[in-house]
């Protein structure tokens, strides 16, 4: 028998060093945990995980500053470019905060740390994915640990409920995603995005009621539609959003902190890449589809957020709303618009991580602690916490001169220069409604406290530091928006895929 | 030198932060060290920058430092850039130098006040904002400083926030200042929209390409901003009320520095005003009218600080007369000497008030010459300086303005200025004689202030005496040779001022001496116990020309009436309308809640429906 | 062109009709809620009242063990291609597989340590 010679793929390990750092850290954590008693040394392991994340972030920064980018590796199935590396940094920040928040909580365990790191790896691979199979694998690597993490408070029925709901619906959506990817593969005969893009560019448009060749065109349309559905689920776009409030409410706050930012970043990243590489060249009406999704998502997210009494549910709907903005900016399809989306994501990550960190600290793991009424008079008990929370909420409501304002401003700029006036108006309407949404907890924090409310738990130093840093960052980015604009412009100037997509 | 000048901002900023953060935990002594030290260090930076500038050849005296890109708007990045040139360095030296002296003085004046720490961080904050105003390299950060000094002034006027009058005065000052802020903002918008830039150099270079109407509009808006900040008629109404603040605040903010920001703006933007001659003439005439108008009011005031406040308004009028007729060097020179002698007068007045435990009515003072001799002597120096008696500083700078007006053919303005100068000499010596001359009208135990307060008095008195020699009539003119080469960098060189006009000088001196003489005749020789003047004119002046009342009738009441009408409309129609919208949106929220049933099967169903919609949308598209 | 797809459309329509028809019919034929009785809600066992709960109970530990078995079983499948290509892959393949086994081993040890294989816990 004469087998063909197999050449092992050339892998540039320096390009995937952030992912490797997380992987090694997670394995080391499990190995070390073997020699520890179950409840012992979890603090140390948490610091170990944090150190691993910082190493990953450091190598990420080195890549960003270096001249290697953009580059591909693993035979072109992973692409490392400034877009991916900037989004990686956001993901790592979310993971770091999750680890810090969990360190003093019942959910802390070696499994928790390892699962968080694995999920982060999935997210980081997803934003670099340049191949249909890698894309799907990354989605699964991202999701499976999250399903488990949601159940990390088994003493609470809501936690288990959240996990089961997320798992069932997640599996459901994965099915559609996989189907869509399979159809795209069927159209193009290859899994690399370059091949897919080339194939889609030659397929004309078709309609069941129109003219033209139906076969491949229809397959391409359904394929793109289903891929958008699968990623829309991760992004929490309406009508694939219904898991969000329930899961956010039930899952441990540290996990929600992580997934609310990480999943969104990863899904946005891969969707932006697909738009940039595959969609723009195709005849499929992806702009119409994304516009419709964006309008529905923004309006439903904003309106449904109003009656919420539970802070985590409220932020869940706010996450849906912000996903709508991200989908909207993708419609424009230009690199400037992607840059605006990245800027928005960075600011959103700062304030959203901050808000969840405050919730986590104030609730101290109690279910009652996440109700908005519990925040009455927070200012009189923990003035700095209340001020930080006010900064995050005002920024979420896009009040100038905070970071959120500029994020929204750049999105509006991108939409208007892309002639998407309906979307721009929807974004404005959504912003107007959110003033009501974020106004309520703000009002509660600064009204006089209930005399019979229990005292608030003491905040660990690391968490207080993290909250302080995030609040300062939100203010600083707002005061000097130029700093990050420069970075993001760098992303758009080099271009997510210049020299790779052939555009 | 580059990037070092930013330290001038950093020191007071740190001082403000530290004093605000740790204030309650620090002793008064420590706060004094921090507050005074920060401004003194800033002064050293300014001196270093001055030395550096002076060492450069005249045409290259410019330090520009771009620290970072603040933001991008369209294609234009807006830089955070600092610009130090011969104009701004003079302002910087005064702000930090006089500022440091006044900070030192405050350490004594405010010592028994509970809000000691608050006072110092707010004063330091003011210094930061004021420095940013004069150091900014573009209109945008000028606006930031402009609004910042307004804020600090609001804080400090309302410093004693338990007094209703102080709070009302702070509010008034803020509202009038915002009129100016809005005008400045609009002017900057116009420049940015039409030119796409906000940096001084680009704007000035390209300003000529704008149509005449736009040029005039920009210049007029800039003037409204300057008039509001520098208390020019009719926007002067806030400044006398601002005396509710502590006296060092009045000295620093409402006499020496902030109120001269308008003068700075006109001098800085002179290429703009040079291309809008109509507006420039208006500036000069409004300045002239304000100088005379405020001087007449000052005659009839009884409150020692109000007299000084109206004299400040009047003197600012002189500066506007100068810059309005393109005599920038004369205007800046008068700003410089005025900063010395007006700060001196306010601080000396503060020393009087301090000595009499808060008394401000001059008719309850008297004979203080013997009780507080040092204060009296320094006050006399200030009075001589402002009255234009040689060889004190005011003589030279006022004469520079008046002589320039006469030689430039502005006879009307010159006449107004000269009359106002006579009135100034009259009311200032009235004040001096009533407060320090004669004998005590009420029982008091006046005592001289501590050294920490008298040392700044002496320093400022020396400066008020010798400051005028920067310009020697018929001889050299240091201010002009310092400023003009720098001005020519930004635009066409303004016409050179004519040589010294000896005739104008003689007339001014005679008029001033006449003012002093009549004050002596009325108040000095007889030392009356009550105001000897009376009659309808006196009442009219004492009532401040009833400008406040007029404003009340013309503006405040109609606005209040309109407000109440709109309020009714708002409540009846709009508010309920918006409430309806609010309830409607909230109602949607409620009505959509059942979609969130909590059942996974329902979620999956709606998911599946969504998938069908997506596929249908893409494949059934016609 | 469309005619090609006509059978599919017809099939699709019929299946939709059947689906919604049955659901609608049960709603129409079935009595309104207030007329339902306890007996009506019970499973139909030819008129005999059921005595035991349907569906046997068994321990959730079956699932756990089954899952763990599945994981390690599926991982073991990865050995086959390597075994076939061992000569071509040379040292590279050996190192890869060693790493793979190491990671798998740590996971196995961890599960063991956590008591994943203990039945009576």
Which chain B residues contact residue A303 at CB under 8 A? 585, 588-589, 592
CA distance B258 to B253: 5
Res A271: pLDDT = 93
Residue of A nearest to B71 (CA): A482
Q: Is A6 an 8 Å CB contact of chain C?
A: yes
**Which residue among A172, A208, A209 sits closest to B607, beta carbon to beta carbon?**
A172
Q: Residues of B at the A interface (Cβ-Cβ below 8 Å)? A: 68-72, 77-78, 80, 582, 585-586, 588-590, 592-593, 595-596, 598, 600, 602-604, 606-607, 609-611, 613-615, 617-622
User: Which of B599, B611, B615 to probe by mutation at the A interface, max A CB count within 10 Å?
Assistant: B611
C abuts B (3+ Cβ pairs < 8 Å): no
Q: What are the sequence ranges of the domains in chain C?
A: 2-41, 60-113
Which chain C residues contact residue A33 at CB under 8 A? 110, 113
Residue A218 to residue B615, Cβ atoms within 8 A: no
CA distance A489 to A486: 5
Gap from A315 CA to chain C (nearest CA, Å): 34
Q: Which of A499, A387, A398, A383 is nearest to A449 (CA)?
A: A383
Q: Is A289 an 8 Å CB contact of chain B?
A: yes
Res A204: pLDDT = 65
**In the numeric block, which tokens belong to residue A391?**
């900064």
- Span B113-150, pLDDT tens digits: 788 888 888 888 899 999 999 888 888 888 889 988 88
Q: Which helix (H) or strand (E) holds B70?
A: strand B63-73
CA distance A352 to A362: 15
- Span B73-112, pLDDT tens digits: 656 778 888 888 888 888 888 889 888 888 888 888 888 8
Residue B595 to residue A242, Cβ atoms within 8 A: yes
Res B358: pLDDT = 75
Higher pLDDT: A294 or B483? It is: A294
Residue A169 to residue B603, Cβ atoms within 8 A: yes
Residue-averaged pLDDT of chain B: 82
Note down pLDDT in tens along chain A; length 503 residues. Answer: 455 666 667 778 888 999 999 999 999 998 888 887 666 678 888 889 999 999 999 999 888 887 777 788 888 889 888 888 889 999 999 999 999 888 877 767 888 999 999 999 999 999 999 999 999 999 999 999 999 999 988 888 888 889 999 999 999 999 999 999 999 998 888 899 988 988 888 876 555 555 555 577 888 888 999 999 999 999 999 889 889 999 998 888 889 999 999 999 999 999 999 998 888 888 888 899 999 999 999 998 888 888 888 889 899 999 999 999 999 999 998 888 888 898 899 999 999 999 999 988 888 767 677 888 888 888 888 888 899 999 999 999 988 888 888 889 889 988 988 888 999 999 998 888 888 888 888 888 888 887 777 777 778 888 888 899 999 999 988 887 766 666 665 554 433 343 333 33
Q: Which of A325, A340, A342, A338 is nearest to A497 (CA)?
A: A338
* Prediction pTM value: 0.70
CB pairs under 8 A between A and B: 116
Res A495: pLDDT = 39
Q: What is the mean pLDDT of residues C97-115?
A: 87
**Which residue among B70, B589, B622 sits closest to A303, beta carbon to beta carbon?**
B589
Which chain C residues contact residue A214 at CB under 8 A? 1, 5
**Which residue among A169, A246, A489 sits closest to B607, beta carbon to beta carbon?**
A169
Q: Is A224 an 8 Å CB contact of chain B?
A: yes
Residue B68 to residue A480, Cβ atoms within 8 A: yes
Burial of residue B564 (number of CB atoms within 10 Å: 0-12, 13-18, 19+):
exposed
Which chain A residues contact residue B71 at CB under 8 A? 406, 480-482, 485
Structural contact between residues B329 and B477, judged by C-beta atoms closer than 8 angstroms: yes
**Which residue among A5, A33, A208 sits closest to C110, beta carbon to beta carbon?**
A33
Q: Is A317 an 8 Å CB contact of chain B?
A: no
Higher pLDDT: C110 or A204? It is: C110
Res B205: pLDDT = 82
Q: Is A34 an 8 Å CB contact of chain C?
A: yes
Residue A242 to residue B68, Cβ atoms within 8 A: no
Which chain C residues contact residue A8 at CB under 8 A? 89, 92-93
Residues ≥6 apart with Cβ < 8 Å to A202 = none
Q: For B454, list phi and psi in degrees, rounded to 5.
A: -80, -30
Give ∠ CA C81-C85-C87 in degrees, rounded to 5.
150
Asked whether residue C1 carries a pLDDT value surpassing 60, the answer given is: no
Asked whether residue B515 carries a pLDDT value surpassing 80, the answer given is: yes
- Span B1-47, pLDDT tens digits: 456 788 888 888 888 888 878 777 778 888 888 888 888 988 988 88
**Which residue among C85, C106, C114 sits closest to A6, beta carbon to beta carbon?**
C85
Most confident of A162-166, B268-272, B289-293, B457-461: A162-166
Chain A partners (3+ C-beta pairs within 8 A):
B, C
Q: How many helices (H) and strands (E) does chain C have?
A: 5, 0
**Helix residue spans in A192-242 (DSSP H):** 193-202, 215-235
Residue of C nearest to A6 (CA): C88
Q: Is A400 an 8 Å CB contact of chain B?
A: no
A abuts B (3+ Cβ pairs < 8 Å): yes
Gap from C66 CA to chain A (nearest CA, Å): 17
- Span B368-419, pLDDT tens digits: 777 788 888 888 888 888 888 878 888 888 888 888 888 777 888 888 888 8
- Span C50-81, pLDDT tens digits: 676 666 777 778 888 888 888 888 888 888 88
Q: Which of A313, A340, A310 is nearest to A416 (CA)?
A: A340
- Span B312-365, pLDDT tens digits: 888 888 888 888 887 888 888 888 888 888 888 888 888 888 887 777 787 777
Res B621: pLDDT = 67
Residue C89 to residue A110, Cβ atoms within 8 A: no
Task: Note the maximum CA span of chain A.
Answer: 84
Higher pLDDT: A365 or B305? It is: B305
- Span B544-593, pLDDT tens digits: 777 777 777 777 777 778 878 877 776 776 667 667 777 777 777 777 77
Q: Three-class SS of residue A37?
A: coil
Chain C partners (3+ C-beta pairs within 8 A):
A
**Which residue among C1, C88, C92 sits closest to A214, beta carbon to beta carbon?**
C1
Q: What is the mean pLDDT of residues C21-39?
A: 75
Q: Which of A122, A114, A125, A164 is nearest to A142 (CA)?
A: A122
User: Which of B68, B587, B619, B622 to probe by mutation at the A interface, max A CB count within 10 Å?
Assistant: B619
**Which residue among A225, A246, A489 sits closest to B614, beta carbon to beta carbon?**
A225
Q: What is the mean pLDDT of residues C5-9?
A: 79
Structural contact between residues B58 and B74, judged by C-beta atoms closer than 8 angstroms: no
- Span A75-88, pLDDT tens digits: 888 988 888 888 99
Gap from A455 CA to chain B (nearest CA, Å): 26
């Amino acid at each position: 028998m004469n087998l063909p010679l197999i050449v092992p793929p050339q892998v540039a390990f320096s390009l995937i060093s952030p992912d490797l750092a997380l992987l090694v850290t997670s394995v080391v954590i499990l190995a070390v945990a073997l020699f520890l008693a179950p409840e012992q040394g979890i603090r140390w392991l948490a610091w170990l995980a944090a150190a691993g994340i910082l190493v990953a972030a450091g190598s990420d920064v080195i890549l960003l500053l270096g001249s290697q980018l953009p580059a591909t590796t693993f035979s072109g199935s992973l692409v490392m470019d400034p877009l991916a590396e900037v989004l990686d940094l956001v993901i790592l920040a979310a993971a770091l905060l999750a680890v810090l928040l969990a360190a003093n909580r019942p959910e802390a365990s070696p499994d928790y740390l390892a699962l968080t790191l694995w999920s982060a790896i999935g997210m980081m691979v997803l934003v670099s994915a340049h191949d249909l199979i890698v894309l799907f694998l990354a989605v699964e690597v991202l999701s499976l640990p999250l399903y488990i993490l949601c159940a990390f408070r088994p003493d609470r029925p809501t936690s288990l409920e959240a996990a089961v709901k997320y798992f069932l619906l997640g599996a459901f959506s994965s099915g559609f995603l996989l189907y869509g990817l399979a159809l795209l593969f069927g159209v193009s005969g290859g899994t690399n995005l370059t091949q897919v893009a080339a194939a889609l560019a030659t397929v004309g448009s078709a309609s069941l009621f129109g003219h033209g060749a139906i076969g491949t065109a229809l397959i391409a349309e359904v394929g793109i539609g289903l891929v958008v559905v699968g990623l829309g689920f991760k992004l929490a776009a309406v009508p694939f959003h219904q898991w969000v409030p329930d899961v956010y409410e039930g899952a441990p706050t540290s996990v929600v902190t992580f997934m609310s930012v990480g999943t969104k970043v990863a899904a946005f990243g891969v969707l932006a890449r697909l738009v940039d590489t595959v969609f723009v060249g195709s005849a499929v009406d992806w702009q119409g589809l994304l516009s419709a999704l964006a309008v529905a998502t923004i309006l439903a997210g904003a309106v449904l957020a109003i009656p919420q009494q539970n802070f985590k549910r409220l932020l869940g709907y706010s996450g849906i709303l912000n996903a709508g903005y991200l989908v909207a900016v993708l419609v424009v399809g230009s690199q400037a618009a992607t840059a605006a989306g990245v800027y928005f994501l960075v600011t959103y990550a700062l304030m959203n991580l901050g808000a969840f960190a405050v919730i986590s600290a104030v609730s101290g793991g109690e279910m009652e602690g996440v109700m908005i009424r519990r925040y009455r008079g927070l200012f009189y008990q923990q003035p700095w916490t209340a001020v930080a929370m006010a900064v995050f909420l005002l920024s979420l409501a896009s009040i100038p001169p905070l970071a959120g304002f500029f994020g929204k401003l750049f999105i509006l700029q991108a939409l208007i220069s892309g002639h998407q006036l309906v979307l721009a108006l929807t974004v404005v309407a959504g912003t107007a409604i959110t003033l009501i949404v974020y106004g309520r907890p703000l009002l509660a924090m600064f009204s006089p406290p209930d005399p019979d409310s229990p005292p608030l738990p003491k905040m660990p130093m690391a968490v207080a530091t993290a909250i302080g840093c995030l609040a300062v960052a939100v203010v600083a980015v707002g005061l000097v928006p130029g700093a990050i604009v420069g970075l993001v412009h760098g992303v758009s100037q080099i271009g997510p895929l210049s020299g790779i997509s052939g555009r | 030198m580059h990037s070092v000048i930013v330290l001038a901002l950093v020191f007071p900023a740190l001082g403000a932060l530290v004093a605000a953060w740790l204030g309650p935990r620090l002793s008064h002594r420590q706060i004094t060290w921090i507050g005074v030290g920060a401004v003194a260090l800033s002064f050293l930076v300014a001196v270093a920058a001055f030395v550096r500038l002076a060492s450069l050849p005249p045409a290259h005296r410019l330090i520009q430092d771009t620290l970072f890109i603040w933001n991008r708007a369209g294609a234009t990045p807006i830089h955070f850039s600092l610009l130090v040139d011969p104009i701004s360095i003079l302002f910087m030296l005064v702000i930090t130098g006089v500022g440091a002296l006044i900070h030192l003085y405050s350490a004594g004046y405010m010592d028994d006040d509970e809000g000691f720490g608050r006072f110092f961080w707010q004063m330091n904050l003011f210094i930061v904002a004021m420095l940013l105003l004069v150091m900014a390299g573009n209109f945008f950060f000028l606006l930031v400083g402009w609004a910042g000094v307004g804020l600090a002034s609001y804080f400090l006027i309302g410093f004693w926030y338990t007094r209703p009058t102080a709070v009302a005065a702070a509010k008034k000052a803020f509202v009038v200042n915002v009129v100016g802020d809005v005008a400045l903002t609009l002017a900057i918008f116009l420049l940015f929209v039409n030119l796409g830039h906000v940096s001084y150099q680009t704007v000035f270079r390209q300003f000529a390409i704008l149509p005449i109407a736009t040029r005039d509009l920009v210049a007029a808006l800039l003037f409204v901003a300057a008039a509001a900040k520098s208390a020019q008629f009719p926007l002067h109404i806030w400044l006398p009320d601002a005396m509710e603040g502590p006296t060092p605040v009045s000295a620093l903010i409402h006499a020496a520095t902030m109120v001269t920001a308008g003068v700075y703006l006109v001098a800085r933007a002179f290429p703009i005003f040079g291309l809008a001659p109509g507006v420039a003439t208006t500036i000069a005439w409004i300045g002239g009218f304000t100088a005379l108008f405020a001087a007449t009011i000052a005659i009839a005031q009884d409150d020692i600080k109000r007299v000084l406040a109206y004299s400040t308004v009047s003197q600012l009028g002189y500066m506007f007369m100068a810059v309005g007729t393109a005599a920038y060097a004369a205007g800046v020179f008068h700003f410089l000497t005025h900063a010395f002698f007006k700060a001196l007068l306010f601080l000396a007045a503060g020393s009087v008030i301090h000595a009499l435990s808060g008394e401000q009515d001059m008719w309850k003072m008297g004979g203080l010459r013997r009780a507080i001799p040092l204060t009296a002597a320094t006050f006399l120096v200030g009075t001589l300086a402002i009255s234009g008696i040689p060889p004190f500083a005011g003589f030279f700078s006022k004469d520079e303005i008046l002589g320039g007006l006469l030689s430039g053919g502005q006879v009307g303005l010159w006449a107004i200025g000269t009359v106002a100068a006579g009135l100034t000499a009259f009311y200032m010596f009235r004040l001096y004689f009533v407060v320090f001359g004669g004998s005590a009208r009420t029982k008091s135990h006046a005592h001289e202030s501590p050294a920490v307060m008298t040392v700044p008095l002496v320093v400022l008195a020396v400066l008020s005496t010798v400051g005028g020699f920067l310009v020697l009539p018929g001889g050299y003119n240091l201010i002009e040779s310092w400023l003009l080469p720098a001005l020519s960098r930004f635009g066409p060189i303004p016409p050179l001022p004519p040589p010294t006009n000896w005739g104008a000088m003689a007339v001014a001196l005679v008029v001033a001496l006449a003012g002093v003489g009549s004050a002596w005749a009325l108040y000095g020789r007889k030392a009356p116990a009550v105001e000897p003047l009376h009659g309808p004119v006196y009442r009219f002046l004492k009532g401040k020309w009833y400008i406040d009342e007029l404003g009340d009738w013309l503006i405040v009441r109609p606005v209040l009436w309109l407000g109440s009408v709109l309020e009714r409309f708002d409540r009846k129609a709009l508010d309920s309308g918006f409430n309806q919208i609010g309830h409607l949106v909230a109602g949607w929220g409620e009505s959509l809640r059942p979609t969130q049933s909590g059942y996974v099967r329902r979620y999956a169903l709606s998911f599946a429906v969504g998938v069908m919609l997506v596929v249908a949308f893409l494949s059934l598209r016609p | 062109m469309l005619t090609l797809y006509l059978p599919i459309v017809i099939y699709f329509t019929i299946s939709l009709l059947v689906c919604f028809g049955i659901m609608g019919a049960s709603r129409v034929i079935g009595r309104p809620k207030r007329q339902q009785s306890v007996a009506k809600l019970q499973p139909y066992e030819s008129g005999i009242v059921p005595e035991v709960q349907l569906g046997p109970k068994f321990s959730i530990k079956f699932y756990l063990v089954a899952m763990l078995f599945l994981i390690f079983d599926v991982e073991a499948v990865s050995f086959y291609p390597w075994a076939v290509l061992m000569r071509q892959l040379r040292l590279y393949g050996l190192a890869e597989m060693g790493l793979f086994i190491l990671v798998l081993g740590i996971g196995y040890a961890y599960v063991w340590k956590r008591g994943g294989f203990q039945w009576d816990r």
